[in-house]
Structure 1
Amino acid sequence: MEGELWDLTDAAGTPVGRTHRRGDPDFPKGFFHVIAAVCVVREDGLVLITRRAAVKDYPLTWEFPAGSALEGETSRQAAVRELAEETGLRAEEEALVPVGRVVEAEALLDLYVVRGLGDLTLSLDPEEVADSTWVPLAEVFRRCDDERMARPWIDRLQLLGERLVELTR
């Protein structure tokens, strides 16, 4: 959300003791903030994707639940919090299996897979999420091909897709 504080990190993801307020201009060159995302896998192998709210960047495109780590949060803590805030689903940090990290211009994107969540009843945050659906992972890649996934996710899945396929089998 506008105004939240992010820890700045180096390229390895180590906090450097400085913060940046979301929305402030002039993100410091050479630093990053952490974004954490979760691919939830149901027992039948389907994965959860969410549709971004119309008021967000990349409106009404699809993605995995994700968001920026707040000041003092680890990537795993951010992943658990964002998943709960956006979808109502609860996961334990220890249940998150890392897929990998993508280094972007100002962010380090960490993608995790989680399985075995008990209650899969969704409670979507309408300020963040317009819709959700459970799909085979192959459908996620089809949505990349026809640009229905948010642009950053198309690039991220080109880098992490093979590993994601392995971890969701």
Structure 2
Amino acid sequence: MEVWDLFDENRIPLGRTESRAAPVKKGEYHIVVVACVVNSKNQILLTLRDRNKVKYPGTWENTGGALQAGESSREAAVRELFEETGIKVAQDDLTMLDSQKEEYAFIDFYIVKKDVPLEEIVLQKGETTDARWVTFREMLEMGRCGEIAPPIYRRMRTLAPKLIKFLGIRKVSESRKIIILGCSGSGKSTLAAKLGKQLSLPVVYLDALSWDAGWKRKPFEEFDRLAEAEIRKEEWIIDGNFPRTVEHRMDECDTVIYLDFKRWFCILSVLKRVIKNYGKPRESMNPGCPEKFDPSFLKRIWNFDRRSKAHYYGYMETLSDTKLIVLKSRREVGRFLEKVEKEGRFVEGNYKKQKKK
């Protein structure tokens, strides 16, 4: 039976051990190591968990396991890698990519460069039943499809920036500055609120910056100053069009989400919103700006495509390192949010730029 050394929340040894069968108590931790093998093609080695395993049977994972009593972290990584794959490495061959603290364990994540033919991998009976080499993007796709053990996939998503840097592969960018554009009534504010919760990013509503109580518009100079203060922050989701600042925001962000909805759909959405919330302010507005019926507002919605759509798409074509995401229906928005739930800030863009003639 495996026996673990126990540590406190600061990774200081408690001078006690516990068997694997015993539950770890709150405030006590053991150490788990992960040994990620990468070949010269920048492919990552995954092994398939035995279908008789209690946790996550039949899913793919990196090699790893818990420190046994008296072991160092690197010793454990070398041992686990040999036991589960037959791959021999020295402790000095390991590069520590990160160490994370989870609920009851510290997770030490090592990476090692080594070319090993699949036929030479020796699988541990009762632990693993198959092995394969996959690219980083293939691994993300497997995770999205539920083929990778959930804890492994969560860790790999968290470590993605460091892993990408180590591998030297083309960046799969992390979204930290997102702007959401689109016609009024397309659901920009609702999407911003949901993304803010999913990604733990602060949400800035430009409508709230623009209007004072009683629907009195702030002077442009004051609005520009407030908007610029938000743009300078390290991370955000900014909801709103405001053409006078949109190009500046598109230059500063790393992700553009454009809701390209039909204008009749947007008008119906606004009318439903007015009926439902008449006399009450929306969450994305100042308290002194209650919902109201405004025919001129509906006219602007009807003319949005003619006034703004081509300009937004045209400027998106000029952006080089920015993720571009275009969503054209509520269903596409729903699917996008599901992807974000799985992939976090690493959802890729879906808009293909037009080829220049």
TM-score for both structures, normalised by structure 2 = 0.45
Match of 1:54 in 2: 51
Q: SS where residue 89 of structure 1 aligns? A: coil
- Separation in structure 1 between the aligned mates of residue 85 and residue 94 of structure 2, nearest angstrom: 16
Kept in 2, the 8 Å contact 1:91–1:117? The answer is: no
What is the CA deviation profile of residues 66-125 of structure 1, one whole-angstrom value per residue up to 9, with x for unaligned ones? Answer: 000100111111110000000000111111111111211111111111014678721111
- 2:25 pairs with 1:32: no
Q: Which has the larger radius of gyration?
A: 2
Match of 1:123 in 2: 122
Kept in 1, the 8 Å contact 2:86–2:121? The answer is: yes
- Separation in structure 1 between the aligned mates of residue 99 and residue 91 of structure 2, nearest angstrom: 17
Q: SS where residue 67 of structure 1 aligns? A: strand
How far the C-alpha of 1:12 sits from its partner, in A, is 3.3
Q: Amino acid of the residue matched to residue 58 of structure 2?
A: L
Gap runs ≥5 in structure 2: 169-357
- Separation in structure 1 between the aligned mates of residue 7 and residue 132 of structure 2, nearest angstrom: 33
How far the C-alpha of 1:58 sits from its partner, in A, is 0.5
Match of 1:167 in 2: 166
Q: Amino acid of the residue matched to residue 55 of structure 1?
A: N
- Separation in structure 2 between the aligned mates of residue 162 and residue 54 of structure 1, nearest angstrom: 31
- Separation in structure 1 between the aligned mates of residue 13 and residue 52 of structure 2, nearest angstrom: 30
Q: Number of residue pairs matched? A: 166
How far the C-alpha of 1:13 sits from its partner, in A, is 2.7
- 2:7 pairs with 1:9: yes
- Separation in structure 1 between the aligned mates of residue 140 and residue 51 of structure 2, nearest angstrom: 22
How far the C-alpha of 1:146 sits from its partner, in A, is 1.5
The equivalences for 1:2-151 within 5 A come to 3-24=1-22, 26-56=23-53, 57-116=55-114, 121-151=120-150
TM-score for both structures, normalised by structure 1 = 0.91
Higher mean C-alpha deviation, range 64-73 or range 97-106: 97-106
Q: SS where residue 6 of structure 1 aligns? A: strand
Kept in 2, the 8 Å contact 1:99–1:111? The answer is: yes
How far the C-alpha of 1:16 sits from its partner, in A, is 1.6
How far the C-alpha of 1:11 sits from its partner, in A, is 2.5
Q: SS where residue 70 of structure 1 aligns? A: coil
Distance 1:47 1:118, change over 3 A: closer
Q: Amino acid of the residue matched to residue 51 of structure 2?
A: A
User: Over aligned residues, Cα RMSD in angstroms?
Assistant: 1.6
Q: SS where residue 96 of structure 2 aligns? A: strand
Instruction: Flag the structure with higher helix content.
Output: 2
Q: SS where residue 164 of structure 1 aligns? A: helix
Instruction: Flag the structure with higher strand content.
Output: 1
Higher mean C-alpha deviation, range 70-79 or range 3-12: 3-12
Kept in 2, the 8 Å contact 1:89–1:119? The answer is: no
Higher mean C-alpha deviation, range 109-118 or range 125-134: 109-118
Q: Which runs of 4+ in 1 moved over 6 A?
A: none
Kept in 2, the 8 Å contact 1:86–1:128? The answer is: yes
Kept in 2, the 8 Å contact 1:113–1:168? The answer is: no
How far the C-alpha of 1:165 sits from its partner, in A, is 1.6
- Separation in structure 1 between the aligned mates of residue 8 and residue 134 of structure 2, nearest angstrom: 35
Kept in 2, the 8 Å contact 1:38–1:83? The answer is: yes
Kept in 1, the 8 Å contact 2:39–2:116? The answer is: no
